[in-house]
Homo-oligomer: A and B are copies of this chain.
């Protein structure tokens, strides 16, 4: 016994307060009255405070007792919450879900899935990191996120991954840009002479990774949003996820480049996690829900080859 104050004493106090007498508390707790009596005496002695006024037939809470009782209720319900948490952990639900999501990923879809998740696991704390390029993977590696949604590069030994869906990508440019007015098909040579708007990793870690750079003239941006603004302003061309630029294409501000060799392609999105920390019930449910939405909703689905 490390400390004379025990949860059982507090539970007994609460029972007495709720039932109104020591005997009744004993009945409700399936204990003998003397056990209750001794438990309360023990509590009073460890706290050094008189909790009940025993002068009448039934004991009545003192001011101090009322005050202690309030606190006791908090503690006991906290203990019950602990058990509940343990139970859901035991039922293979992760204690909290942290996601590292590539900025390319269609956010409205993710939000829909998370809404469903929150309905299913109301007490589950969720953290979402939206990162560009290597950022999401970095989150998985340094363990600040547990589940990654991004385009995984060549097989990684320590990370387990699973294909989730394709994001439709296409080269686009502002409609008032020379490339938009050029007669299709656009050749690779034509692109090389124009400015390409490229994403850089905020953390500089993925300097090695600069795939997809075609043009010799390059502007670099740290985030998708800024790049989109420069794209709209006609600074250059770039590949964008269709779901992000479709509204602008429809409104005529952007034009899809009819590239001869590659009019559109798919960015494969994977579910990634540390091999030793596989997703549990909540994570798996989220993945399945996302998969259904991604294959159902045509707007965000893969490009149909034409």
Enumerate chain A interface residues (CB-CB to B < 8 A): 1-3, 5-8, 11-12, 29, 31, 47-49, 63-64, 66-68, 71-72, 74-75, 78-79, 81-83, 85-87, 89-90, 94-96, 277
Contacts and interface: CB of A to CB of B under 8 A. Distances in A.
A68 B90 CA distance: 12
A64 B12 CA distance: 29
29 contacts: A1-B8, A2-B8, A2-B11, A2-B31, A3-B7, A3-B8, A3-B11, A5-B7, A5-B79, A5-B82, A5-B83, A6-B7, A47-B82, A47-B87, A47-B90, A48-B87, A49-B89, A63-B94, A64-B89, A67-B85, A67-B95, A67-B96, A68-B82, A68-B86, A71-B78, A71-B82, A72-B82, A75-B75, A75-B79
Contacts of A71: 78, 81-82, 85
A86 B47 contact: yes
Contacts of A67: 85, 89, 95-96
Nearest to A78: B75
B89 A68 contact: yes
Contacts of A277: 63
A49 B90 contact: yes
A181 B125 CA distance: 72
Nearest to A11: B2
A210 B196 CA distance: 87
Given A48-B86, A68-B85, A72-B82, 10 more contacts: A2-B8, A2-B31, A5-B82, A5-B83, A6-B8, A66-B95, A68-B82, A68-B89, A71-B82, A74-B78
